[in-house]
Amino acid sequence: MQLNEFTASLANAKPPFGLHPIAEALWYDAKGNWEQAHNIAQNREGTRDYDRLHAYLHRKEGDEWNAGYWYRRAGASVYTGPLEDEWQTLVETFLQR
């Protein structure tokens, strides 16, 4: 699936079948369901990719301290660009998996 197909799917009531769980979480996030996205991140806490998702979600929430914790857990640098760019980067990464 390509990014444009993913973003077009946001008009649907349910995420596309077969998405990587992190891409699914980002779909829910884009639909305004931060809680569902966060549940997916918490489901695999301690796994670097899910911890990276967790970092993004707390950054979006405005909790910079908590986001920093999750970036460290993920072994990733704190993202300092726009949230939209971070979302897109994550989506593109996990659409490939």
pLDDT reported for residue 51: 98
The CA-atom distances, in angstroms, between 72 and each of 11, 14, 15, 59 are 34, 32, 29, 13
Asked if the structure places residue 90 within a domain, the reply is yes
Domain that holds residue 96: 30-97
Q: How many structural domains does the chain have?
A: 1
The answer to whether residue 19 is domain-embedded is: no
The string of pLDDT tens digits covering residues 18-55 is 999 999 999 999 999 999 999 999 999 999 999 999 99
> In this structure, is residue 12 part of a structural domain?
no
Sequence-distant (≥ 6) Cβ neighbours of residue 17 within 8 angstroms? none
Model confidence, pTM: 0.95
Q: Looking at the domain assignment, is residue 2 inside a domain? A: no
Average pLDDT over residues 7-18: 97
Does residue 88 lie in a domain region?
A: yes
Which pLDDT score is estimated for 86?
A: 98
Q: Please check whether residue 46 lies inside any domain of the structure.
A: yes
pLDDT at 97 over 90: no
SS3 assignment, position 46: coil
